[in-house]
Amino acid sequence: MEIGIFTIGDVTEDPTTGSTPSEHERIKATLEIAKKAEEVGFDVFATGEHHNPPFVAPANPPVLLANIAARTTRLRLSTATTLITTNDPVRLAEDYSYLQHLSDGRVSLMMGRGNTGPVYPWFGKDIRQGIPLAIENYNLLHRLWREKNVDWEGNFRTPLTGFTVTPFPLDDVPPFVWHGSIRSPEIAEQAAYYGDGFFHNNIFWPASHTARMIKLYRQRYEYYGHGRADQAFVGLGGQVFMAKNSQDAVRSFRPYFDNAPVYGHGPSLEDFTAQTPLTVGSPQQVIERYLSMRDWAGDFQRLLFLVDHAGLPTTTVLEQMDLLAEEVVPVIRKEMDAQRPADVPDAPTHEWLVARHRAGQDPVAGGTEDSKAYQDRTERAVREEAR
């Protein structure tokens, strides 16, 4: 099982001291967190993509991830997410292929539409076309990473004639892609169609909603001929804050929760932890909460923890990572790996993807349906939903 840390890069005032880090300090702290992730044995570090305050998560994640790649040797690198709607697929293909070479294959992507509406007009896009943009842009990216001399024409960018990505993916094998979504069944469908992973960053959602999205993805993964439903690639996320004593954890985290950009000024800490994966308590409570996700999500391959949100000082974040690495991660990894059937794959690595490629076992997108039929049907579903 792949367990790691993700950041959304928010620059938030520490409500207990009134101090706010500068953008420079927050960026440097992100590098500290990534290096710490490798030192204490996490598998992956992932960064979001934002183009607006109060975030300094990189507008161009390959810059940050390439820097981290140069400072680490084992840590896998990921986005959380890459905006497939407002970025040019040609640029994405080349940037992440280059990063893949620099990191010796230690990179994967999480594709998403983001949660900031103004980003669409900032990049000349129409938010009302969010789903069609995601469908078309990823279809082009998928082709660019697998074909040379590509001829292509679509609705949202200029045509391509005889285009080949440079550099081409390492070992002719593209990075593994997770499609991230919290509410759009079309994205679960897209992940299933291509045989990619589906990541539900369920930090705001009850288990019942997340379970429905994962069930849809698994059913469609099997429908498209990529394997059994239980063999599909599922990722989950959440935030934790721990102390040896659960009451101490609640007391320490409450002011951060109450003022957090994505949590604060809404439901109480108690209500939020009851309804979502946010877990504030002892390491044992975190272990029990996250192991129980298997009951409704099945075997999942990726688990990412948010630990640096809401103005927490970097020293506290690093202490939380120590607690996770020492007391939580080994137990979750051992239990999940022991329960996973032998024919259910682990999280894909570059080496695994290369071996599958050389054995001629690459997934064929939409084993029972061609790409045009898939796109037409998905767009019909979007129009029906809009009504």
Residue 36 has pLDDT above 90, yes or no: yes
* % residues pLDDT > 90 (the chain): 72
Distance, CA of 364 to chain centre: 23
Distance, CA of 34 to chain centre: 16
Average pLDDT of the chain is 90
pLDDT at res. 375: 56
pLDDT band at 327 (very low <50, low <70, confident <90, very high): very high
pTM: 0.91
Pairwise pLDDT comparison (67 vs 277), residue with the higher score: 67
Separation of alpha carbons 21 and 117, rounded Å: 26
Separation of alpha carbons 264 and 310, rounded Å: 9
Residue type, 105: G
Domain ranges in the chain? 2-386
Pairwise pLDDT comparison (361 vs 330), residue with the higher score: 330
> Bridge-partner residues for 112, per DSSP?
83
- 197: helix, strand or coil: strand
Report the pLDDT averaged over residues 20-32. 95
Report the pLDDT averaged over residues 66-86. 94
Name which CATH class applies to 2-386.
Answer: alpha beta
Angle at the Cα of 102 (from 97 to 103), degrees rounded to 5? 95
